[in-house]
Amino acid sequence: MSKKISDSTIKRLTLYYYFLTTKKDNTDIVISSQELAQSIGVTDAQVRKDLTYFGSFGKRGTGYNIKHLCEKLSNILGVKKVIEVALVGVGNLGKALMSYRGFEEYGYKIKYIFDSDHQKIGKKIMGYTCFNTFAIPEVVKKNKINMAIMSVPKDSAQNVAEKLINSGVRAILNFAPCKIIHDSSKVKVINVDVASELKALSYYLLSNK
Amino acid sequence: MSKKISDSTIKRLTLYYYFLTTKKDNTDIVISSQELAQSIGVTDAQVRKDLTYFGSFGKRGTGYNIKHLCEKLSNILGVKKVIEVALVGVGNLGKALMSYRGFEEYGYKIKYIFDSDHQKIGKKIMGYTCFNTFAIPEVVKKNKINMAIMSVPKDSAQNVAEKLINSGVRAILNFAPCKIIHDSSKVKVINVDVASELKALSYYLLSNK
DNA sequence: CGTTGTGAAAGGGTTCACAGCT
DNA sequence: AGCTGTGAACCCTTTCACAACG
């Protein structure tokens, strides 16, 4: 079962899951791959393929039992467990992320926040005490945090990432517009580069003039 | 020349461009695909491949002239022109995006902001007058805005997107955790789903226990 | 009969490896 | 000799199409 599953598959599975949770107490207790697919905006074959990486959850001729499928997806995605994350960089983006409901909904809890700005260190920001970035090793190690969100300027991104990784963090969501270079195969970094997403869009606009 | 270029290629080109601008007034006026690749975190073949979709900008045996390459990339990406965008949804994320420097740096200017909350409509928020979402057709059409950022709740996302598209918007950066369904091949939507990115990360954590 | 589950085919992006210039 | 430019090979993801099954 330890085949390699792509990021895209996992992202779609979360979409399936969160769509199904909105339907759970509906009268129709089964859903076809086609209906699920249309709601999410993918093909039905894609839905079935994604699911079969993890098992056979449906009934031929009928479809998928929603409750049953939810449970399976919940297990696959580890929804039940609340995961504590550290957030580094309490600028505008960092604050937006702190107040972003989606994280809670998806089972995350921002537990510690860090910044290198002395105006912020030690102060309470949106209910959280802001730690010095230098305290990352101490705080992260002691509390066994293994997931972090980085909303720092790109010049300090690599540096902060190394601090996090050396302190035991194994998954980083990076908002700085740069690739994080690391050699451990046990560490996974996902980049969210908002501006370069936009750039891709405007290239599209340009090339369709 | 009208081959289809992938989003990933365009995103990398922007990384090349913005990296090179930091080197422009350096002494070394040429750079090899290898050096550029290492700085960004990709392979040298990838760099060369990306560039050759648009032409031959280098000198064999030497490398790429930085200034020359910058100019070429600037043209490809349409860097010079400032693009005006509309932002719909002035919640926390919306505000973060409004104060996000990256956009300006990459040649974007948020010009109009919209929200459906009557507490916000008509008020000045961070220097911008907030319009009613219902005014999208009027404002967007009149001012020929063709790019938009959506930071609205997922329940209104499809609705807002349709308003934008019907008003002439052809490129949307969508932060709502849902796919936007549209039939026009002239419209491009890029989704940035922060929570599901995180979810992909935590699946990774889980599967490596 | 309808829908799943799945091997096979197709499609798309990345890497290889080397010919071709400078 | 060194580095680019590029077809071919490779790999990964999506789609197809249909056998299997309730």
DSSP state string for A119-152: TTTTSEETTEEEEEGGGHHHHHHHTT--EEEE--
The predicted structure's pLDDT at residue B69: 96
Minimal C-alpha gap between A180 and chain B (Å): 8
> Mean pLDDT across the stretch A135-155?
94
Residue A208 has pLDDT above 70, yes or no: no
The predicted structure's pLDDT at residue B74: 92
Residues of A with Cβ-Cβ distance to B93 under 8 angstroms: 96, 100
Please tell me which of the candidates A77, A92, A192 has its beta carbon nearest to residue B199: A77
CA-CA distance, B121 to B118, in Å (whole number)? 5
The predicted structure's pLDDT at residue B208: 63
Residue B209 has pLDDT above 50, yes or no: no
Choosing among A7, A80, A203, A208, which should be mutated to test the B contact, i.e. which has the most B CBs within 10 A?
A203
Which range has the top average pLDDT, A45-49, A101-105, A149-153, B76-80? A45-49
Give the end-to-end CA distance of chain A in Å, rounded to a whole number: 48
Q: Among B4-18, B23-37, B62-76, B158-172, which is the least confidently predicted range?
A: B23-37
Contact B86, B148 (CB under 8 A): yes
| A83–B205 CB contact, under 8 Å | yes
Distance of CA B207 to the CA centre of its chain: 32
Residues of B with Cβ-Cβ distance to A107 under 8 angstroms: 202
The predicted structure's pLDDT at residue A27: 60
Q: Among A68-72, A130-134, B158-162, B178-182, which is the least confidently predicted range?
A: B178-182
Residue B192 has pLDDT above 90, yes or no: no
Residue B28 has pLDDT above 80, yes or no: no
A16 touches strand C (CB under 7 A): no
The phi and psi torsions of A49 (rounded to 5 degrees) equal -60, -50
User: Which element (helix H / strand E) includes B133?
Assistant: none
DSSP character string of B17-75: HHHHHTTTTSS--EE-HHHHHHHHTS-HHHHHHHHHTT---EETTTEEEHHHHHHHHHH
Residue B16 has pLDDT above 70, yes or no: yes
Contact B87, B130 (CB under 8 A): no
CA-CA distance, B200 to A13, in Å (whole number)? 9
B78 interface with A at CB cutoff 8 Å: yes
CA-CA distance, B201 to A148, in Å (whole number)? 10
Residue B134: count other Cβ atoms within 10 Å of its Cβ. 11
A8 touches strand D (CB under 7 A): yes
Q: What residues of chain B, 37 to 76, have a C-beta less than 8 Å from chain A? A: 40-42, 76
Contact A86, A92 (CB under 8 A): no
| pLDDT-above-90 percentage for chain B | 59
Residue B116 has pLDDT above 90, yes or no: yes
The predicted structure's pLDDT at residue B1: 43
